[in-house]
Amino acid sequence: MMMKKLCYLIVAGLSLLQACDKESGPVVGPPVSPDEIGKASVWLTTGDKTKLLNKEGDISITEPIATTLPLITIDPAQTYQQIDGFGAAMTGSSAYLIKNLSASRRNALLQELFDPGAGIGISYVRLTIGASDFSLEDYSYNDMPAGETDFSLQNFSLSKDADVISVMKQVVAVNPVIHIMGSPWSAPAWMKTNGSMKYVNGQANKLKEDCYEVYADYFVKYIQAYAAEGITIETITPQNEPLHYTAGYPCMHMEAVEQINFVKNHLGPALQAASLNTKIIAYDHNWDNTNYAISVLNDAGAKQYVAGSAFHAYAGNVSAMTTVRNAHPDKGLYFTEVSGGEWATNFSDNLQWSMSNIFIGTTKNWSKNVLLWNMALDPNFGPKNNGCSDCRGVITIAPDGTITRNVEYYTIGHFSKFVQTGAKRIASTISENIANVDYVAFANTDGNLAMVVANNNDTMKTFAVKQGSGQFTYAIPAKSVVTLTWKL
């Protein structure tokens, strides 16, 4: 009987304890982790080069929770410009070096450069229309003996572009939907006021007024001739760097008023008459001048033929692109050239500058693409044609075929491999600013999201990312760039 009473008292005591617990609130246990609802992929490049576009471990995406970290909120419903692609210029020098690799090395390199699965997936290439400062020689597609002309363009020929055509055919085979832009450094010498493709002793270096029509026909023939080779020229600029015309390599002076005349009265109508869909992109020069592009677009006759404006980064500030966009929000913005070189050799510094100013900088300032200068150069920064003496290619190809991937290779790769053609930049806002950290986000057409973050600080920075029903945290190392991709 005593045992039964003891058991009863114990049970009664437990019941009383439970009753007290119910009155005072639940017993607090260990924190419950939010449920995982997905994974984010991580690709990292560090300034010290210990990681080079390296695939890191995936990050767990969970349901949103309160955080004291800076929170980047991604909103795919709020979209900005459509992205055409990322890449560099296949100059005559670049094509020459690539074509002269052994077949196996060339094939492997082109797969690596242009296939997003096997490599970095370059999606946009710029070609020079005729010779530039990175060609094996001066030439146009219609060279004539001094004093002779060819207004019927009977002698038009792409023969001097043999290396470019050969390599670009392989590029198109690897990436059939690649975007291609053509930009001339000079009209044929006989069409110009100084009779030369270069600047000559203070002479005017312009297109002759009676050659505007034949030069427009020259563009038409160029586009058609490349199409016959299976290479589609999607966009053209009327003149590379039209305000830099005193060089010892092919160049030509074209003021805004002259470009307006050429585009609205000759080039635009010529492309239209030939039923060509190639887009005309105005200006194609530095950020320090916004008046040129705005002037072209202010002219209704020219604007009807112009798809947008192109910029280089050798002077001025990237915000110039937004200035032009604000003046003409119905037209596209394009970034078409900048080069690395021996004037800046620190990998980490170049990585951060390129991200802040060129890749993240231009896309956040409405650019539809990002193009660097030479795709490939040799260890002596050539072959050169009286141009830049120490420019660096995206890759360096040594005489023995050894390939060095320069910082430009990785800056392109952090975008081109993950941000597909047709993607749109999307809204990304942060709860509190992180000094010296830049970021931009995109939504691909397949529903995958991509965000690139650059940390220019000497210390690691941790942040959280929230998108819809998901949230994750990432700690980016000092002086590093990361691409994060996910889909919910």
Listed residues 368, 397, 418: the one ending a domain: 418
- Cβ atoms of 379 and 371 within 8 Å: the answer is no
Q: Is residue 10 in a domain?
A: no
| Residues 149 and 283 occupy one common structural domain | yes
Q: Is residue 64 in a domain?
A: yes
8-state DSSP, 96: H
| Residues 291 and 321 occupy one common structural domain | yes
Q: How many residues does the chain have?
A: 488
Q: Is residue 364 in a domain?
A: yes
Q: Is residue 16 in a domain?
A: no
Q: Which residues of the chain have pLDDT under 70?
A: 1-33
Q: What pLDDT, on the 0 to 100 scale, is given for residue 31?
A: 58
Q: What pLDDT, on the 0 to 100 scale, is given for residue 215?
A: 99
Q: CB neighbours (10 Å) of residue 284?
A: 27
| Residues 412 and 446 occupy one common structural domain | no
| Residues 409 and 459 occupy one common structural domain | no
Would you please indicate which residues are annotated as catalytic (active-site) residues?
241, 337
What CATH code is carried by the domain that includes residue 443?
A: 2.60.40.1180
| Residues 56 and 141 occupy one common structural domain | no
Q: What pLDDT, on the 0 to 100 scale, is given for residue 119?
A: 97
Q: What pLDDT, on the 0 to 100 scale, is given for residue 30?
A: 57
| Residues 255 and 378 occupy one common structural domain | yes
CA-to-CA distance for 77 and 484, rounded, in angstroms?
19
Give me the number of domains the chain comprises. 2
What CATH code is carried by the domain that includes residue 246?
A: 3.20.20.80
Q: Is residue 18 in a domain?
A: no
Q: What pLDDT, on the 0 to 100 scale, is given for residue 433?
A: 87
Tracing tokens 């299976």 back to the chain, one arrives at 230
Tell me the residue type at 19. A
| Residues 460 and 474 occupy one common structural domain | yes
| Residues 62 and 142 occupy one common structural domain | no
| Residues 342 and 460 occupy one common structural domain | no
CA-to-CA distance for 238 and 444, rounded, in angstroms?
31
Provide the domain limits for residue 166. 84-418
| Residues 291 and 436 occupy one common structural domain | no
Long-range contacts of 98-104 (CB under 8 A, 24+ apart): 98/167, 98/375, 98/376, 98/397, 99/163, 99/166, 99/167, 101/397, 101/401, 102/401
Strand duo 279-286 + 340-341: pairing: unpaired
Q: Is residue 90 in a domain?
A: yes
Listed residues 418, 439, 464: the one ending a domain: 418
Listed residues 366, 393, 418: the one ending a domain: 418
Q: Is residue 346 in a domain?
A: yes
8-state DSSP, 34: P
| Residues 355 and 283 occupy one common structural domain | yes
| Residues 137 and 191 occupy one common structural domain | yes
Q: Is residue 337 in a domain?
A: yes
* This prediction's pTM: 0.93
pLDDT, tens only, 275-290: 999 999 999 999 999 9
